[in-house]
Amino acid sequence: MKLTPIILFIGTLLLQSAIGYCFLPADEIELAKRFAQLDSLAKSDSTDARQQIIAACVSEKERTQVQRYAFRLLSRTATSSELEQIRPVACKSQAAVYFGLAAIRVKARENNTSKSDLAKEMLAFVSELSRSSEPGASSRTHVAKEELGFYIADAKLPETLFPKEITSRSPEISLLRLRTQFASCKDENARAEFLARLLDTEDCFVREAATALMAELGDKAIPVVERVMEENVPLSDPPPFTAGTNAFGASIDVLAAIGGERARELLGIYAASTIRYVSVNAKYASKWVEAGVPLPIAHRRLFENPWLLE
């Protein structure tokens, strides 16, 4: 019995160390820098730049998340012949799912395929994956459904053509909806209330889309972020994970995405908190601000390794 307090103490230390490690953003910052490099290449739209993106899709030196992002970019501008260069390699690797959806979109673009027919082809691709009995099939199906959210939003395909299980669980689709709703707000006060309410929602996909929208607004969003943080700062550790706690965490992410002096000041204040949840999250966000790399909220889910699901 005497050992119980010691065991609990050691367990607490290990848990705190694990939490601290999880919030080290060094790897994520490097991923964000690589995403930015690929974005720059995509904007140039030269043949050489596209070849570099194509190489990133199948290079063994690239991380899975980078390959996934590179295929997204290629789907907008690549030709079928360019994709055919990497089919043999891509289809024998984890990138097969990314290749499959990108190839469908590229072919549809070249053939002026209707949106309804493109939707059918993409859903058929996912359905075929779900029926597979091969090892890892459920992971590939899960990833394909996540990727569909990106393609639906990026190609502006009607949501009604897809199952609700896909359209209701996509930050990219939620962001499209929020942009429309935000634009319809009658004045600055209405827009501020709209954003504050979204950060407090329990729907993680809508909340993630709201943080991406606020990041797009830049410094204009900071007054709303300040207010939300003041109203929802956790007062205990560990905090109860309510909508308010989620709103505070989402606000921290927005500051990491916007950066600048005011974001640095606010994060410094919260980093000094005696509440571990508050200080750890603020220090995590500060790493992004200090590195001068905006947290790419719109691509946050790409930081996760989709092949660790099984």
Note the pLDDT tens digit of each residue in 148-170: 999 999 999 999 999 999 999 89
Asked if 247 and 277 sit in the same domain, the reply is yes
Q: What is the pTM of this model?
A: 0.83
Asked if 220 and 252 sit in the same domain, the reply is yes
Asked if 32 and 165 sit in the same domain, the reply is yes
Is residue 76 one of the residues assigned to a domain?
yes
More reliable by pLDDT, 244 or 258: 258
- For residue 129, what are the contacts with CB-CB under 8 A and spacing of at least 6? 97, 137, 140, 141, 144
CATH number at residue 279: 1.25.10
Asked if 115 and 165 sit in the same domain, the reply is yes
Is residue 22 one of the residues assigned to a domain?
no
What is residue 92's predicted lDDT score, i.e. its pLDDT? 81
Determine the average pLDDT of the residues in 268-272: 95
Last residue of a domain, one of 169, 198, 220: 169
What percentage of the chain reaches a pLDDT higher than 70?
89
Is residue 259 one of the residues assigned to a domain?
yes
pLDDT band at 237 (very low <50, low <70, confident <90, very high): confident
Residue 23 has pLDDT above 50, yes or no: no
Asked if 215 and 242 sit in the same domain, the reply is yes
Q: Structural domain of residue 251, as residue ranges?
A: 188-293
Asked if 155 and 192 sit in the same domain, the reply is no
Is residue 74 one of the residues assigned to a domain?
yes
Residue 8 has pLDDT above 70, yes or no: no
Residue 306 has pLDDT above 60, yes or no: no
Asked if 68 and 193 sit in the same domain, the reply is no
Whether 294 and 215 have beta carbons less than 8 Å apart is answered as yes
Asked if 134 and 200 sit in the same domain, the reply is no
What is residue 24's predicted lDDT score, i.e. its pLDDT? 52
Is residue 4 one of the residues assigned to a domain?
no
pLDDT band at 304 (very low <50, low <70, confident <90, very high): low
Residue 155: Cβ-neighbour burial (10 angstroms; 0-12, 13-18, 19+): middle
> How big is the chain by its Cα radius of gyration, in Å?
21
CA–CA separation, 173 vs 158, rounded Å?
A: 10
Is residue 271 one of the residues assigned to a domain?
yes
Closest Cα partner for 38 from 286, 301, 302, 308? 302
CA–CA separation, 56 vs 146, rounded Å?
A: 21
Residue 6 has pLDDT above 90, yes or no: no
Is residue 174 one of the residues assigned to a domain?
no
CA–CA separation, 103 vs 57, rounded Å?
A: 13
Asked if 233 and 287 sit in the same domain, the reply is yes
Asked if 44 and 84 sit in the same domain, the reply is yes
Closest Cα partner for 171 from 215, 137, 128? 215
Asked if 155 and 214 sit in the same domain, the reply is no
Average pLDDT of the chain is 86
Closest Cα partner for 40 from 31, 49, 32? 49
Q: How many domains does the chain have?
A: 2
Is residue 17 one of the residues assigned to a domain?
no
Asked if 146 and 97 sit in the same domain, the reply is yes
